Structure 1
Amino acid sequence: MRQRNASPRRRLLVWATALVLLLGVGAGTAVTWQNTYALREERVTVRHEGRDLDGVLALPESGEGPFGLVVFVHGDGPVDATHDTFYRPLWEAFARAGYASLSLSKPGVGDSEGDWLDQSMDDRAEETLAAVSWGRARPDIDGHRVGLWGASQAGWVLPKVAARDGALRFVIAVSPAVDWLRQGRYNLMAELRESEATPGETREALRRRETTLRLLREGADFERYRDAVGGPQAMTAERWRFVGRNFRSNASADLRSMGGTPTLLVLAGHDLNVDVTDTETTYRRLLPPDSLTVRYYPDATHSLVRNDLEGEPVPLTLTALLAPRQLFAPGFLDDQQRFLERVSDGEGAA
């Protein structure tokens, strides 16, 4: 699954630095205040399959615990533990509900060893289970209040982990897809419409897709793929192998096996990556009704950033710099905090 990053944070930080220099010390003070969170962050290392994974444990601002724990599962791409700081407003909201957050840099990102492009969705699930076990072993974590938060590509990981660990207290699934191939076609068609592609461009894009799928099903090597498809839109060799490991992914069987794990499904009205109607229909069909809470944000993008900010570099940068909590769709942070508070009180879906 190809994910649009939750926010182009690296580019925003460059813009932010320039703006601070332009606006002076007063603006710098405001930026510092807006980007200070009610958290205690601890750098941690989780050992898994002989490799060290670098991460952050974000604890509530005060208290000794034991706290509940939210284990983060990233979407696609080379994501570090903080997602270039994008996760911190979420960690703060969860801390207010009495939960710590654990997030690891993907293999090969930051100080984490390995290469995330070598992973299957099963590999990612095993890695997440290792993070859950690590968290439960800490004295400041309540092992009975541990759950998962994941976005986008994590939609194929979260149900696997929940199906294998029946003790998980909850799952928060943000913009997840169910079927890799179905999602890929939806994403392609949505982007073609967004770019106002001509009929000829659409036919060519679909032809390339069908050729790519045929080669994937045949187990073709990268050289054969490159020769058949080529062009600036072709995948790298590493990406080709990653897709080859994962293109058959479908979350349906794992969703059925999750049982009654309380699940918050978060969907956006301007999602070019995921067919939210298909996702919601599948989740409602496969999960017990009393275990599922659905929250839909009509003015949000795939990453739950406000749609009015998407594609607007200056407003997006100013918001990220001066009011980062306002990047998200209204209610997004509060609704997740309330969900965790209900889970802690022993309530299910609402």
Structure 2
Amino acid sequence: MKKKILTLLAIVLTLVGGITVVVLLGNDYRITEERLTIDLPGRSLDAVLARPRDSDPTGLVVMVHGDGPVEATHDGLYRPWFEAAADAGFATLSWTKPGNWLSQTMDDRAHEVEAAIDWARARPDIPTRALVLWGASQAGWVLPKVAAARNDLTGIVAVSPAINWLRQGRFNLLAELRESGATPEDQNRAVAASNQTRELLTSNADYATYRAHTPDPMDAARWTFVKLNYRSDATADLTAAATKHLPTLLMLATHDLNVDTTETATTYQRILGQSLTTKHFSAAHSMARPIMETSKFTGLTTATLWPRSLLAPGVLDTYRTTLTTLH
């Protein structure tokens, strides 16, 4: 009996050891990370600078987050992107969203990005010979503003951006209803509720009025954020940015429930023309393989053991290859 227990214990320890090795290998990136503080007038931002582990970078990617209280590494989910950039000879600068991010307009966010770029360019230890903006989702209303305002950018990588705030919200609402199998009646009720919220936004309703007319309201801070930004539309800023003729990679997902990728692709192509390269991936909005979002177990297991595999095939290769052309 004792021998059987010892044998079983040995098997368990071997399995645990094997899993530990896989986790360590899967989370071992070809980068080094340095924690920094971006000092701006009256405030500071907690940031990460990711560099190639075994070489000196010649360019810098500046990351612009999507919606939500995103940490500088997106709790590790950005590290595959950091690594792909490092393989292409780029460092990556990313910062944690400030605590007051729900009080920011898209103009505020663009000014923050510009201030961070100026800070980086003032530091001789940060390579900015080539300067690329990477932005996801909500950053689609930020990137064109920054691109239009500056003359020192080398290129842009736009991941799953939308064009118009209200149309994006309506597309997302209907897409998720269809995905969940909602009945036509349920869809009609949801659209009616959405229309009422739009009317309250247009009338500049305060939170108490909004809450009184909405059965499942967002919280007060989110309501303020939406009121500040619901008129956002990227078209004018894209048109202004187009005069810079910046090489732009547009990365779109074929399983995106958040963004109308047809509208995005058509609008970007019409405005940016030959400066644009559009790539479509069999991915969800986040560029993850769709199963990573539909199966929590698969997503969590993959994120723990081999995070690079969260992303759809071709995403990181396309990103890496694009950056190599921008030196």
Q: Tell me what 2:322 maps to.
A: 339
Structure 2 alignment gaps of length 5 or more: 1-11
Post-superposition CA distance 1:281-308 (Å, at most 9, x none): 0000111x221111101x2000010113
Q: Tell me what 2:104 maps to.
A: 119
Structure 1 alignment gaps of length 5 or more: 1-19, 109-114, 345-350
Q: Which of residues 68, 74, 77 is equivalent to 2:68?
A: 77
Q: Distance in 2 between matches of 1:320 and 1:130?
A: 33
Q: Tell me what 1:303 maps to.
A: 286
Instruction: Give the number of aligned pairs.
Output: 314
Q: Tell me what 2:38 maps to.
A: 46
Q: Distance in 2 between matches of 1:62 and 1:137?
A: 24
Give the RMSD, CA atoms, in angstroms: 1.6
Change (3 A) 1:21 1:135: farther
Q: Tell me what 1:130 maps to.
A: 115
**Residue 64 of structure 1: CA displacement?**
4.2
**Residue 26 of structure 1: CA displacement?**
2.2
SS at match of 1:249: coil
Post-superposition CA distance 1:118-145 (Å, at most 9, x none): 1000000000001111121222333331
- Detail structure 1 runs of 4+ shifted over 2 Å in the superposition: 20-23, 62-65, 140-144
**Residue 147 of structure 1: CA displacement?**
1.4
Structure 1 stretch 20-29 or stretch 75-84: which is displaced more?
20-29
Equivalent pair of 1:144/1:168 in contact (CA under 8 Å)? no
Q: Distance in 2 between matches of 1:22 and 1:41?
A: 32
Given the alignment of the two structures, is residue 153 of structure 1 paired with residue 138 of structure 2, yes or no? yes
**Larger relative helix fraction:** 2
SS at match of 1:147: strand
Equivalent pair of 1:71/1:148 in contact (CA under 8 Å)? yes
Q: Distance in 2 between matches of 1:24 and 1:144?
A: 46
**Residue 202 of structure 1: CA displacement?**
1.0
Q: Which of residues 250, 253, 261 is equivalent to 1:265?
A: 250
Q: Tell me what 1:291 maps to.
A: 275
Equivalent pair of 1:144/1:167 in contact (CA under 8 Å)? no
Q: Distance in 2 between matches of 1:97 and 1:140?
A: 18
In the TM superposition, 1:172-183 aligns within 5 A as: 172-183=157-168
Equivalent pair of 1:121/1:157 in contact (CA under 8 Å)? yes
Q: Which amino acid aligns with 2:305?
A: L
Q: Which of residues 298, 304, 310 is equivalent to 1:321?
A: 304
Post-superposition CA distance 1:104-127 (Å, at most 9, x none): 00002xxxxxx1101000000000
Larger radius of gyration: 2
**Residue 47 of structure 1: CA displacement?**
1.9
